[in-house]
Amino acid sequence: MRISSKVIKALENGDPIVALETTIITHGMPYPQNVETALEVESVVNEYGSIPATIGILDGEIIIGLSQDEIETLGKKKDVLKVSTREISVAVAKGLSAGTTVSATSFLAEKANIKVFATGGIGGVHREVNETFDISRDLEELAERNIIVVSSGVKSILDVEKTVEYLETKGVLILGYKIDEFPTFYSRKSGIKINPVTENEVAKIFRTKKLLKVPGAILVANPIPEEFEIDYNTMEIWINEALQEMKEKGITGKGVTPFLLSRIFEISKGKSLEANIALIKDNARVASLIAREIASNGL
Ligand code: PSU
Ligand code: MN
């Protein structure tokens, strides 16, 4: 594992750091928007006072703090793997390149002693889980990692209620960044009530949790900025169309999330991508503010 010199310096100085994932680059968005977005997200982290650490695997090397060139290389590369925690070793042993999911990124961020992580949306319990057993590794990993993850809730391609229930079962604390309702990625609404907090309160809760040695992540839900919200019912129509096609094509497992994202991108004529970019940038802002509180409290 290689940690970039910038990130090493920040770690040594106790400066605020925000980890960023790469599956969103390799499997979540088309080129070149994936690379542009990844670089913009890093700028937002910088702008709000923290150091970005984009995490991924290039030719078998785990990198904490990819350079701009490395992000570009990963974003352009064909045949890149999508790795959850269990497959990190495969990519490394075989010298392959990979985007790290929320699970793999949380695992690696914790190893590098990074406390805050920003993403778009985490994986979750899929619709029709009774048939497919498809529950993202992200949820199990978050139960075990001592990290704060900022996301726009979970996508409504998933079963949102079941995902929230599962997070409770697994002991992942859900907090709302200045909101009292769990967001569903493209929409600020779900009807599910959560505890609203400020960045300062997140840091206090993190400290208390640490003192009590309560394991598991804190999931900070930050809703999509209002002007980019997509009407819930319109989204439902698009999602159902994509889900239907997925069934017809027989897509399962790892392919599910990337397929749905790219189909919804096409069906929505790019509107879903615009929303996705807006919310990830806002999550980077919130994560940067939280990381500063964490650092200034010496946590
Ligand atoms: N949600 C998004 N965009 C993404 C992902 C989730 O809006 O790109 C990625 C994340 O990296 C997440 C992964 O960890 O998909 C989950 O994949 P799966 O459902 O196969 O566990
Ligand atoms: Mn899955």
21 lines ligand 1 (CB under 6 A): yes
Q: Cα(164) to centroid of ligand 1, in Å? A: 16
pLDDT of residue 175: 98
* Residue 210 marked as a ligand binder: no
CA dihedral for 290, 292, 297, 299, sign (positive or negative): positive
Please check if 102 is assigned to a binding site. yes
Give the per-residue pLDDT at 3: 98
Burial class (CB in 10 A: 0-12, 13-18, 19+), 142: buried
Query: Is the shortest distance between the CB of 24 and ligand 1 below 6 Å?
Result: yes
> What is the distance in A from the centroid of ligand 2 to the CA of 252?
8
- How high is the pLDDT of residue 129? 96
Cβ-contact 88, 55 below 8 angstroms: no
The answer to whether 21 is a known catalytic residue is yes
The CATH architecture to which 2-296 belongs is 3-Layer(aba) Sandwich (3.40)
pTM for the whole structure: 0.97
Q: Which residues of the chain carry a pLDDT beneath 50? A: none
Instruction: Tell me the C-alpha distance between 292 and 148, whole Å.
Output: 13
Nearest-atom number in ligand 1 for the CA of 102 is 14
CB atoms within 10 A of CB 48: 18
| Ligand 1 nearest atom to the CA of residue 137, by list position | 21
Domain edges within the chain? 2-296
Q: Which atom of ligand 1 is nearest to the CA of 123?
A: 16
Q: In terms of C-beta density within 10 A (0-12 exposed, 13-18 middle, 19 or more buried), how is residue 146 classed?
A: middle
Q: What is the pLDDT of residues 29-75, one digit of tens each?
A: 999 999 999 999 999 999 999 999 999 999 999 999 999 999 999 99
| Cβ < 5 A residues, ion ligand 2 | 134
* Residue 127 assigned to a binding site: no
Is residue 17 within 8 A of residue 147, CB to CB? The reply is no
141 is catalytic: no
At residue 156, the pLDDT reads 86
